[in-house]
Amino acid sequence: MKITVIGTGHVGLVVGLCFAEIGHEVVCVDNDPHKIKTLEDGQLPFYEPELETLLSRATDSGRIRFVTDLAAGVEHSELIFFCLGTPPLPGGEADLSSVERVARQIARLSDSYKLVVEKSTVPVLTGERIRKTMQIYSREKGDVEFDVASNPEFLAEGSAVVDFLYPDRIVIGVENGRAEALLREAYAPIVDQTFEWRLEHPVPADRGKSVMLVTNRNSAELIKHASNSFLAMKISYINAISNLCDAVGADVRRVAEGMGYDHRIGPEFLKAGIGFGGFCFPKDLEAFIHIAEKNGQDFGLLREVERVNTNQIDKFIEKVRHEVWVLKGKTIAVWGLAFKPNTDDLRFSPSLITIERLLAEGAAVRAYDPQAMPEARQTHEQVTYAESALDAAAGADALLLLTGWSEFRDVDLAELHARMVRPLILDGRNHLDPEAVRAAGFEYVGMGLPQNGEAKPPAAVPRG
């Protein structure tokens, strides 16, 4: 098929390259000439595992083109995917100005049938707004036929390529059979698994055959926001539990394990830490609250999810103060800048928020991240950036682990101990093995973990 993807960000570029990988002819459109030139030169504008291989293969095969000319993209295909940014406005609602603008332009440029597919995360009823907008502006060229469908993305940064090619589910929201047939054809190689996996890493064992859920457009739009908000709620729940574990001397890892064995709950997203970040969860949570309130529904439950997430950094900073006492004049090492491992994305990163708090209290920060330092240097000039995890810890009064990169587990603990002024690790992701770290002579503080490595009974409750 011929497919057009508008937007080459973390979603659009993955969508375009993956569609090319399974055999379609793709045109990716972006209004940023520098980004398009970067892609034409065979370089990526951001880091995502497996994406470099896909770019090379799609470019060599001629199955993908990168252009700034929207008209060329509209002419190329009747199937057009919107992968546009929907950043939050001050009130929390999503900024849909890019979506509206591109819908108008497509309506004016089209002279044949088009199926516009929302891939961006948008509020429910956005599809209807797009349809009306295109209906109005298409009149300038006559009554051109078009449909609008919803096909929300469920791509996690760090595993986006696998998530697209081996998804848990593919959701399409359509209003007629013509739109459904086009989307079924586009995704047939993935649903039927008829393409050949030729990437660097093996397919995860838990990835089975994909399910395609066909529903109406409004339901599909809600599925995306409802899914992200539920996952955010699960993270905030286990973080609230970790705070209780801190208070009573329980081990949040064992609590989460015990919960996760229940098939109705499952183990995913039950890892305590300093809270979720990234561009999706905070933005989508706030937008979903706004959607509910706009439609007369009280979503106080999600307000509490937000509050717990915000407070996790406060609680972590309190742990740092408790251990270090006075932060002013101290050298604090930070491992991890990106909001999660296997990405260089710094948007809404809890690590950067924590660093800003440390700097505000007069601490000197030495940081290391395997991928995110080039961008961090542009925004956080007060931080000293190290070439390795060990270099970041040299001369440090404490080490804060804020992003769970796998390489941090492989650091030589003896050498790390020798380089630090005080061998103190505060693990904001419960990423390291507390027993091994303590055995190497470190003081170790985690989130919701007993200080001595063993759960202790709660303090006696007075009667009466």
Catalytic sites, residue numbers: 280
Residue 193 φ/ψ, nearest 5 degrees: 55, 55
C-beta neighbour count of 68 within 10 angstroms? 14
- Distance in angstroms (rounded) separating the CA atoms of residues 455 and 249: 5
260: Cβ contacts below 8 Å, ≥ 6 apart: 266, 267, 268, 270
447: helix, coil or strand? coil
- Distance in angstroms (rounded) separating the CA atoms of residues 368 and 334: 6
- Distance in angstroms (rounded) separating the CA atoms of residues 369 and 387: 9
C-beta neighbour count of 458 within 10 angstroms? 10
CA 450 to chain centroid: 30
Tokens 């529903």 — which residue?
A: 215
Q: Which of 186, 197, 187 is nearest to 162 (CA)?
A: 197
449: helix, coil or strand? coil
Q: Which of 398, 271, 283, 285 is nearest to 341 (CA)?
A: 271
Angle at 38 between CA 32 and CA 40, to 5 degrees: 100
| Identity of the residue numbered 340 | K
Name the DSSP class of 461.
P
